[in-house]
Every structure is written in structure tokens, then in C-alpha cells.
Structure 1
Amino acid sequence: MSSQLDMIEKGLIVTCTLIICIIIRESISAVVLMKKNKELNKLAYIDLHTGLPNRSRVEELLIEYHQFEKPTAMIVFDLNDLKEVNDTLGHIAGDTLIMNFAHIIRTSIPKKYFVGRYGGDEFIALLNDVSEDEVKSIIKKVQDEANRYNEFSKQIYIEFAYGYALSINYQEANLKVLLNQADKNMYECKTRMKQAKQNLKK
């Protein structure tokens, strides 16, 4: 009788040990799966070419961001002549241009501000708690870095148009309003740049 109880007790110990091992294994699997899902979700919002948040993340941000507690600015940057670079030097050169410009924007703008790639050659920056002078100063820093890059680049030059909009200039502003206005201002800047080039050719 005693030996039977010992066998039953040992069997229960083994069974409990197996159950505990299974629970631990499943818990580890769940943690690993959760970590992988987080990594996949992160990748879903990253532009793999530039390392910046992609259009999906930008559009999500536009939906999430409803109110401005402090003065906020949206800047739109647009590379000039990307198609010409692709056509004359090839798409690898065009990709290099995009990658270098993305690096210049990200390193020129303080890390506390959001910078993302909105389209093929279009990038945005969202600046919180800034004045118009601070916005202009950031744009100048991007331009200075682009000029410094151009001094050493022999074939691929960086030239860009930009536009910005500030929340303090609109009574009922949201990010979509700021983005649309900044985009409009960017195209006006691009037009002025084209006209200036045409005047130089005359």
C-alpha cells in the first residue's frame, strides 16, 4: 500500500512538473510572439529605404493629432529634379539622393520633433511648441547642410522646395489643415524656384 502511494505521489510530482514546464514554455512563447508582433508593427510604420516613419505612420498621426496645446508647425520638404536624376543617372542615383536628403533632414532637425517620409520625394516635419523664427531657423539649418553636402558631391546635388504652416495662424487648425497649407506653400516655393532658373537662362 505504501509503495503504491509512493508511486502515485511520484506520478503526481512528475505530472505537475510537466504541467509547470508546459506553462513556462507557453509563457515564453507568448512573450516571444508579443515581441515579434511589436517588431512587425514597428516595421509596418518604417520606410525601409530611409529609416524614417512612412506614409502610413504620417496618416495615422494626422488622425490622432486633434488639438494644439502649444504653437505647432508643419513643414513640407520636396526634392527638386528627382525624375531628372532617375532619367539621367539611374534609379540607384535617385535612391541615393532620397536617402541622403532624408539623412540631412533628420540630423538637422532636433530629435524631439517628428520627421517622416510622406511620399516618393516629399518629407514632413512636425514641430511642437515653436515660434515662426524657430521654424525658419530649422529650415535654414537644413539648407545649410544641403549646401555643405553639395560642396562635396560631384554628380548628385540636393535642391529642395519647402513650405510651412503654423497653428497660431488658424482659428480651427488641425494637422490636415496645416499639412494642406504647408503643401500649398511648398508648391509656391517650387514655382518661384523654377521661374528663377528660367530667368537665369535668358
Structure 2
Amino acid sequence: MVRGWIIGNSSGLFFGIFSCIALIVFIFTMRAFDHKVKFRFIYGATALLIAMFGTIIYSTSGYIVVTVLSYILPFLAIGILFLYMYMYAARYNIDSVSRCYKRRCFYADAERHSKNKMAIISMDLNDLKYINDNFGHKAGDIALLTFAEVCRSVKPSKFILYRTGGDEFMMLGIKATKDEAETLIHDIRMKLQETPYTCSFGINMYNPSDDFDDVVVKADQAMYEDKRMYKEMKIKSNPSKDEEYDESLRMFTSNISFLD
């Protein structure tokens, strides 16, 4: 019966082909975004259900239903394919910890907007190594994500946030002024006071006639100078401040559950 359906009926053939396409795309989507072994049985179960569904539909409802489905399934398969492509691109471009765009996006966006003036903000989350070493890497991940959420909560839409590596973040302010960048840094510092974390910042302005890499280097240099002053201030601080800092980190980390 199934052999006759596939060979003798073009609608049945289309139904079978696009059922397989939809299934294949679904499986690859599941594999890309869910690596847990306990869910892998879904792949086989889905294949079995689709095979049973196709056979039952044709044997009980006949030509009309299969013909209708042969028109619906191509659009379903294409829709799932585009969803898979979107999700794959998102995973490729988004940092899984901070949920920021990755380093490659920073340079791609800079190239795309190279004919515009831009504010470049270099940022380095202070004490991330200390947090990782003393409180664990989950605490470090919480610090990274919290900092990113703080930035997202205060930044205007013209500023794009990236995690460029480790404890380093960058922002591109498309058509932004230096005053706007300085205001944003002030707002981030104020918002960070609600957390145990601090950050070092550096700003430089890009004009279309500039070499972008040189502008980034100067923004980094300004950030390193800010970090140097932070470290000097920390050395001069009262030892009791370190104990308060550790306690605030411990309490903040224990009360955060968004990475579970």
C-alpha cells in the first residue's frame, strides 16, 4: 500500500519528500540546541510518528487530505529550515555566557559602519580572575552576565555591546558623540553600584578617515590607564574593604539563580 502511494501518486510523493525534509531539519535543530542524552529518543520517536502519520492519513482519508498536506508541508519544511538557520546564526554570533555579540561581530559591524563617526568604548571587568579563583567559574559567569545586563539596561540603541574575550567588552556607538559615550559610562558605573562589580573604561572616537585598529588600540590604552588607577586605589585601601568585598561577592552570587 505504501509503495503504491509513493510511486503511483504524485501528491503522496511530495508528502513523503517534504515530511522527510521537515524531519531532517527538526533533528538537526534539536541536535544543535540540545545535547542532553536523555532527549535523544525524541529523534527516533519523531521519525516513527511521521511514518505512521503518513500511512494512516493516506489509508483512512485518501487522496484529498494527502493532496492538501502536500501543499502545506513544503511551507512547513521551509519555515523550519529558516528557523534553524536563524538559531544557528544566533548561536554562532552570540556569546553563550554574557549573551552579547562576539568579537567577530564587533569587527563586522565596524566595517559595515566605517563611513560613519563612531564612539568606541573599551571595557574590562575588574577582578574576574580573582572571582573565578576564589568563588568558582559559575561566580565568574554570573559576574560577566550581570555586567552585560547592566550595560544593556542603560545603553541607548545606537550603542552595540560585544564581549571580545575573557573579561573584555567593547561598545560601538554608531553616530554617537563623545559626550554620549561619557554619559553612558557614568550610567553604567552608577548602575554597577547595585552589584559588587566594577569595570575599567576607555573611550576613543572614530572618524571615517581614521584607521579603525589604531582607534581601538587607543581606546584600550585609555582603559588600561583607568585599570591602573583602580589597582593603585585598591592597594591603598583598608584591608577590611577586601573582606567586605568578598562578603558582598559571596552574598550576591548566592542570591543569583539565572544561570541554573
Looking at structure 2, the residues matched to 102 and 47 of structure 1 have their Cα atoms a distance apart, in angstroms, of: 11
Deviation at 1:200, TM superposition (A): 4.2
Higher helix share: 2
- What does 1:1-202 align with in structure 2 at a 5 Å threshold? 15=9, 17-18=11-12, 21=15, 24=71, 25-68=73-116, 71-147=117-193, 149-150=194-195, 157-168=196-207, 172-200=209-237
- Give me the TM-score of the superposition, normalised by structure 1: 0.77
SS of structure 2 residue aligned to 1:158: coil
Instruction: Note the residue ranges of structure 1 that are not aligned, 5 or more in a row.
Output: 1-13, 151-156
- Give me the TM-score of the superposition, normalised by structure 2: 0.61
SS of structure 2 residue aligned to 1:74: strand
Q: Does structure 1 conserve the Cα–Cα contact (< 8 Å) formed by 2:163 and 2:170?
A: yes
Deviation at 1:114, TM superposition (A): 0.8
Deviation at 1:178, TM superposition (A): 2.6
Looking at structure 2, the residues matched to 35 and 85 of structure 1 have their Cα atoms a distance apart, in angstroms, of: 38
Q: Does structure 2 conserve the Cα–Cα contact (< 8 Å) formed by 1:74 and 1:165?
A: yes
Q: Does structure 1 conserve the Cα–Cα contact (< 8 Å) formed by 2:120 and 2:172?
A: yes
Aligned residues: 178
CA RMSD of aligned residues (A): 2.4
Q: Does structure 2 conserve the Cα–Cα contact (< 8 Å) formed by 1:55 and 1:119?
A: yes
Q: Does structure 1 conserve the Cα–Cα contact (< 8 Å) formed by 2:98 and 2:141?
A: no
Looking at structure 1, the residues matched to 12 and 131 of structure 2 have their Cα atoms a distance apart, in angstroms, of: 64
Instruction: Note the residue ranges of structure 2 that are not aligned, 5 or more in a row.
Output: 1-7, 18-69, 239-260
Looking at structure 2, the residues matched to 88 and 20 of structure 1 have their Cα atoms a distance apart, in angstroms, of: 60
Q: Deviations over 1:13-44 (max 9, x none)?
A: x8454466566334532332122112211211
Looking at structure 2, the residues matched to 128 and 27 of structure 1 have their Cα atoms a distance apart, in angstroms, of: 38
Q: Does structure 1 conserve the Cα–Cα contact (< 8 Å) formed by 2:150 and 2:191?
A: yes
Q: Report % sequence identity.
A: 25
SS of structure 1 residue aligned to 2:121: strand
SS of structure 2 residue aligned to 1:118: strand
SS of structure 1 residue aligned to 2:114: coil
2:230 partner amino acid: M
Partner of 2:39: none
